[in-house]
Structure 1
Amino acid sequence: MIWSARRPAQIAILSQSQQPSAPKSPMSRYGRARKVHANTVEGRRAVLEAFRADRPVERLLIANGIEMGPQMREIITLAEAADIQIEHLDRRDLDRQSQTKKNQGVVAVLPDNRYVSVEDIILDADSKSQPPLIAVLDGIVDPHNLGAIARTMDAAGGHGIIIPERRAPGVSPGAIRASAGALMHLAVARVVNIPRTIDYLNQLGVQTLALAVDADTDYTDVDLKPPTAIVVGSEEKGVSRLAREKCAAAISIPMRGQLASLNASVSAAIAIYEAVKQRAND
């Protein structure tokens, strides 16, 4: 085993049923869809990746008359092999049950078990005898950034992403589409407080590194072979002050041009693949 971690009490993660309810307001079509299905995966690539990842699909909804390409044929074959109920609906009926505007005529309904604990991510890496590689998202509000970071983390063989419970995108159909289905393969922990979670990771022996444009240490000068969590902030504000104070160090990506910063998902990808490069050469 490459590393070992002590196991303090697991961080409490509120379930959706425990979260305070928001004031009632008129629901959009997509709000009504969430009332019908708590968790959906939508679009051909995302649904296909859900099946390939052996996610527990409860039902498959398909619009009547859609074009059957290779992806749809594979989706139906996998659904039939798993004895999953397939429902063929009018397009309007399917859209009423969809949470996105781009379902491409296919929606998979899953049980609402999208999240794991932080400790689950650590123990999964430990079971593979690998030092954890984790991204912690602090202040990321665009589901496309979440999806892009998830896609990079999955491609890099990383172990998971940690996101805050509030004021952040969750594992939604839109984020899954943006990840090209990578979120179906990647563990995601949803936590109450990012600074406390960073402190928890420090206790576990995971080095926590904040990406910051004003940091003195170049990202290539840090040893990323040990267990590592890369903390990524928003493009406007960066990593929050409290989160940065909890991190073991801050690292920067050199900027040679006129712009002051990179897109959050691009910054994360650069740091994640530096870890991949270092670990490959170990």
Structure 2
Amino acid sequence: MAGNSQRPNRRTSNKKGAQVGSGGQRRRGLEGKGPTPPAEMRKGHAKQRAAQAKARRAQGRPRKASGKSASELVVGRNSVVEALREHVPASTLYVQQFIDNDERVREAVRLAGEDGGINLMEAPRPELDRMTRGLHHQGLVLQVPEYEYAHPDDLAAAAYDEGEDPLIVALDGITDPRNLGAVVRSASAFGGHGVVVPERRAAGMTAGAWKTSAGTAAHTPVARAANLTRALESYQKAGMMVVGLAADGDVELPELDVLEGPVVVVVGSEGKGLSRLVGETCDVRVRIPMPGGAESLNAGVAAGVVLYEAARRRG
């Protein structure tokens, strides 16, 4: 019976014992992996990402971020006409069959035709009801395609390529698309190189954001970061100062000299301000003096004030 044998050294188990020797692993481990490669060749290094971004731009291929916004539908006659007037990028205008052809319908069809890149489609009302899930579409539905976000690293790399110090705005916890559109508009007006938004729990480039940007979103890139804190740390490694706006900031805006160099301005929500991790990541926290007695400013206004001060200092 197994385990009761009287023969010495007889194996009573199928398990193998320890093997003699290392098979050369120790010797190979002592040989090392050679000299450390340059930063541009190290995977994940900021200089490698900047070099890759520069190569993509030279080939005319912008980098896509890790996520896209979902395709959006603008419904209702007034909303559709306003979106077309503001040149919100759209792919298709759906018009209900046998619709009451009023002035707004005629203008929507005319604007879509003048754009040249918008398809005109006639559809029965049940189909439009299905598309809009029962919303009151009034016979007009405008389809806005997915927005192609930039990568955060590309914003700084593009500024450096132009021989300029990057001026970037990062939004922390901003959920109103109109605030995002207002920040994009201010960045465009005062020489900003782009806006960064988090991938989750944040406003994206919807039709509402496009309208509020008044068309400036067409040439001011918006980047999406999977993790905003890590994106800010990457900017710091690239030599940029991260400035957070806070009501209890240590420095007042007129005393902030770092705006003259490469900088990222982080704006939090009006109610909650900066999140804890983002606030701890900032190199300096600055407050906007408000002698009129207001307690706070919304994100769009606050970003505009700081961007104006940066543009003034940069001449």
Compute the TM-score of the two structures, normalised by the length of structure 2: 0.66
| Change in CA separation of 1:276 and 1:102 when aligned onto 2, cut-off 3 Å | farther
- 1:238 deviates by 1.0
Question: RCO higher in 1 or 2 (8 Å CA, sep ≥ 6)?
Answer: 1
SS in 2 for 1:86: strand
Partners of 2:192 and 2:129 in 1: CA distance: 34
Partners of 1:103 and 1:151 in 2: CA distance: 31
Which position in structure 2 is the counterpart of 1:67?
103
Residues 1:77 and 2:114 are matched in the alignment: yes
Residues 1:175 and 2:209 are matched in the alignment: yes
Which position in structure 1 is the counterpart of 2:66?
14
**Once structures 1 and 2 are overlaid, which stretch shifts more, 162-171 or 182-191?**
182-191
| Change in CA separation of 1:70 and 1:85 when aligned onto 2, cut-off 3 Å | closer
| Change in CA separation of 1:113 and 1:179 when aligned onto 2, cut-off 3 Å | closer
1:234 is aligned with what amino acid? S
Could you list the per-position Cα deviations for residues 69-107 of structure 1 after superposition, in whole angstroms to 9, with x for gaps in the alignment? 88864542231xx5x532245678557646998999462
Which position in structure 1 is the counterpart of 2:224?
190
2:114 is aligned with what amino acid? T
Between structure 1 and structure 2, the one with the greater Rg is 2
For residue 250 of structure 1, the aligned residue among 262, 267, 285 is 285
| Change in CA separation of 1:44 and 1:220 when aligned onto 2, cut-off 3 Å | farther
Partners of 1:221 and 1:257 in 2: CA distance: 19
SS in 1 for 2:312: helix
| Change in CA separation of 1:7 and 1:72 when aligned onto 2, cut-off 3 Å | farther
Which position in structure 2 is the counterpart of 1:265?
300
Residues 1:231 and 2:266 are matched in the alignment: yes
Partners of 1:216 and 1:256 in 2: CA distance: 17
Consecutive unaligned residues of structure 2, counting only runs of 5 or more, are 1-45, 51-62
1:67 is aligned with what amino acid? E
Partners of 1:205 and 1:184 in 2: CA distance: 28
Partners of 1:104 and 1:157 in 2: CA distance: 41
| Change in CA separation of 1:230 and 1:172 when aligned onto 2, cut-off 3 Å | same
Could you list the per-position Cα deviations for residues 3-28 of structure 1 after superposition, in whole angstroms to 9, with x for gaps in the alignment? xxx624479953259xxxxxxxxxxx
Could you list the per-position Cα deviations for residues 127-176 of structure 1 after superposition, in whole angstroms to 9, with x for gaps in the alignment? 33322221100111222211221221222232211111111111122322
Consecutive unaligned residues of structure 1, counting only runs of 5 or more, are 1-5, 18-33
Which position in structure 2 is the counterpart of 1:24?
none
Is 1:147–1:179's contact at 8 Å kept on the other side of the alignment?
yes
Partners of 2:233 and 2:138 in 1: CA distance: 39
Same amino acid, percent of matched pairs: 35
| Change in CA separation of 1:136 and 1:89 when aligned onto 2, cut-off 3 Å | same
Which position in structure 2 is the counterpart of 1:137?
171
Partners of 2:290 and 2:155 in 1: CA distance: 32
SS in 1 for 2:47: coil
Which position in structure 1 is the counterpart of 2:23?
none
Is 1:141–1:168's contact at 8 Å kept on the other side of the alignment?
yes
Is 2:68–2:147's contact at 8 Å kept on the other side of the alignment?
no
2:67 is aligned with what amino acid? S
| Change in CA separation of 1:241 and 1:98 when aligned onto 2, cut-off 3 Å | same
SS in 1 for 2:266: strand
Which position in structure 2 is the counterpart of 1:209?
243
Matches within 5 A, 1:75-154: 75-79=112-116, 82=117, 84-89=118-123, 97=131, 105=140, 107-110=142-145, 112-154=146-188
